Structure 1
């Protein structure tokens, strides 16, 4: 359901979008954070989405890509507040002089807002669920949707409870599948992992995954699980480090969705 290559290295994906891969691979970040450089062909103005972790070499690489053929960063946008996407925002703004918007910085991004930077046009979509402040950015001319962590290039995302919310996330999935079904979105540029060429199928898979997890949770409760930890163990087995934290957050989001309150 994603691009055929399991090793994602970034690069140009459409006439208007190129990815500079962050140097932070890991369990939660896959190959690293995707910093997206957006530019209308032939234009000078550049938009950078999610400059990523505070790593000077990565910021220099991003500036190099943005500066090809005389490009200049005119705007920095953030899909959400997590550090692997937004930590370097202030430093990057200082390097470029460009304003930052999103994730509590600058002028808030509004659902349905059309952003024009030179001849480049973007549309803002509020897509809460992974976090409350998650947004996606549509590049209409490429039918490309930048999703941050709402949809990943591989696997599924974490509902980062209590900031994240499953009710909101399921509504977001419905909104995104409608965009894919109507042809407004033909490819997804995620915050981590490779570009998705079959968005409708991937989003449908996300919905199925959530339904299956809810069924597993209900079964665990029916079998006597009485704490969050017991539910996590029943569904996921033994986990460590970031995986354990992610599983716990997702289970807590599912319990909240079902209106079930359990001790830790």
Structure 2
């Protein structure tokens, strides 16, 4: 994207600068967006992959200011590995999402969990970190991952939404850690807030966040309806459902679509609406 080049600081508002990492893919869009919050001292949100050019770009954007915290929304490999070299260079604590070790490489190879992620402080709903003129408040938004956090900036009404709400696509929800029931509840939770703008981990700033979240809820309910209609016609496997539901899908995204359908089926199963018989799913009679 010529208007948002890799490694160049983009001032989004007086307290927020964005730096794009050089890791574009079908799953990350143009790459992971690191946000730097503050004026005289700063927090670095989702420093991204352990890429020397990106870390050098972050240091240029920080420009010698004290780093109060390195903040992580979730520890997928496109978000958290740069915490370690950045901590070594700045001495800042790593804070945010809780760590755990889970092999989740099946749906998207770029976003399996960063097993070396080791925060100095785990944050939960309502926890805050503060600097000179800024505050970041943790908002628990599980679904994309069980440990996902968003961070509100109450001074300006901004929300750093990580991968829970992105500016270019709906997020993947991939079991076993991704959970559609939790994801939908987290979207409903955001609907109850009045944030002015979302700054996502991927894609453009979201200037009308309530409208987008409402649309995302509707999109997921539409997918759920498609699944139920298909398996009411006949018991079907997940690949058969994906073939019907996602006509013309990029073949590289088929595994992710299958994981998303599985997440919907698990949610429907929890609600007592469907059952699994071998590799096929059918409505519960």
TM-score under structure 2 length normalisation: 0.83
Instruction: Measure, in 1, the Cα distance between the counterparts of 2:252 and 2:146.
Output: 21
Q: Is 1:117 paired with 2:127?
A: no
1:114-193 alignment to 2 at 5 Å? 114-180=128-194, 185-193=195-203
What is the DSSP-based 3-state SS (H/G/I as helix, E as strand, rest coil) of the residue aligned with 1:137? strand
| 2:91 paired with 1:81 | no
Map 1:239-258 → 2, pairs under 5 A: 239=249, 242-258=252-268
Q: CA deviation at 1:262?
A: 5.4
CA distance in 2, matches of 1:59, 1:195: 22
Matched, 1:98 2:95: no
Q: Tell me how far 1:74 sits from its aligned partner.
A: 2.1
Query: What is the deviation of 1:223?
Result: 2.5
Alpha-carbon distance between aligned partners in 2 of 1:112 and 1:242, rounded to the nearest angstrom? 38
The TM-score, its normalising length taken from structure 1, stands at: 0.89
- SS in structure 2 at match of 1:84: coil
Greater relative CO (CA pairs within 8 A, separation 6+): 1
Deviations 1:116-172 (A, max 9, x none): 134321111000011101100001111000010000111211112211111111111
Two-structure CA RMSD over aligned residues (Å): 1.9
Q: How far apart are residue 7 of structure 1 and its match?
A: 6.1
1:48 maps to what in 2? 44
Deviation, structure 1 residue 62: 0.7
The 1:263/1:245 distance shift into structure 2, 3 A limit, reads: farther
Contact 1:51 1:86 in 2 (8 A): yes
Whether the 8 Å CA contact 2:29–2:202 is kept in 1: the answer is yes
**Partner secondary structure for residue 83 of structure 1:** coil
Distance 1:75 1:263, change over 3 A: farther
Query: Pairwise mapping of residues 184-263 of structure 1 onto structure 2 (< 5 A)?
Result: 185-237=195-247, 239=249, 242-259=252-269, 260-261=275-276, 263=278
Q: How far apart, in 2, do the equivalents of 1:106 and 1:80 lie? A: 14
**CA pair 170-55 structure 1, distance change in 2 beyond 3 A:** same
Cα shift readout 1:154-206 (whole Å, capped 9, x = no counterpart)? 121111221111111111111111113xxxx1100000011010011101110
State the alpha-carbon separation in 1 of the partners of residues 199 and 256 from structure 2: 22
Counterpart-to-counterpart distance in 2, 1:162 and 1:98: 32
